[in-house]
Amino acid sequence: MINASSHHPIENRWRGTLPVSAHTTYASPGVPTVVEQSGRGERSFDIYSRLLRERIIFLGTDVNDQVADALVAQLLFLEAEDPEKDIQVYINSPGGSITAGLAIYDTMQQVAPDVVTICYGLAASMGAFLLSGGCKGKRLALPNARIMIHQPLGGAQGQAVDIEIMAQEILFLKETLNGLMAGHTGQPLAKITEDTERDYFLSPAEAVEYGLIDRVVDNLGGEGIITGG
């Protein structure tokens, strides 16, 4: 349930030189640090910074403004680094703020490189929307991933006019998201509208048939995804 007076009034219901050698340590709980050794000495990176050098970005949390700012900055940085080489976005997200998600989505559409989207774990709600917004032909999922789509869910409190304004905004965002998803999936708008009335879960194979993704992969290295090749 979303409070109309909150900072996020509308949300989804769910939330390059190769080293001579490298090893991994854990500098802080849950965030490994990769230590690279070369003739110039030793350098350490948190794992996400190291993968960013390979043009790999992770969306592994709820979508909010802070997450959106970080992802947008990374997308713009990688575009400036090389406007022709693909950017890979790994998604394991239950969803979150629609406005923050649309900020990520719009940037994905605007940057010059193709954006490869890869679902691991769960892509639900705004996570599924971003998954479908990857470059056509390069939207992937791992075999045991799950995808879920549904309509925005919001709430409001206060005077009747405030509730009416919020309801109109939710309807506008619902129509916007459904229209964009219809374009990415090839499904009729009426079907998208009907299917998102309730939580709609899909397996990767079903998501391919639906048009949310293009392929199911079980060997990312073989696909050239991890290495960027």
Residue 200 CA: distances (Å) to CA of 151, 194, 207? 10, 10, 11
Q: Give per-residue burial for 36-45: e unless 16+ CB within 10 Å, then b.
A: beeeeeeeeb
H/E element holding 171?
Answer: helix 160-185
Provide the CB-side half-sphere exposure for 69 (13 A, CA): 3
Matching residue, tokens 């459904």 = 178
* 197 close to 171: Cβ distance less than 8 angstroms: no
Q: Which of 93, 97, 132, 150 is catalytic?
A: 150
Q: Which of 93, 125, 132, 184 is catalytic?
A: 125
Among this protein's residues, is 125 annotated catalytic? yes
Among this protein's residues, is 49 annotated catalytic? no
Q: Which residues, including other chains, have CB under 8 Å from residue 209's CB and lie 6 or more apart? A: none
The catalytic residue positions are 125, 150
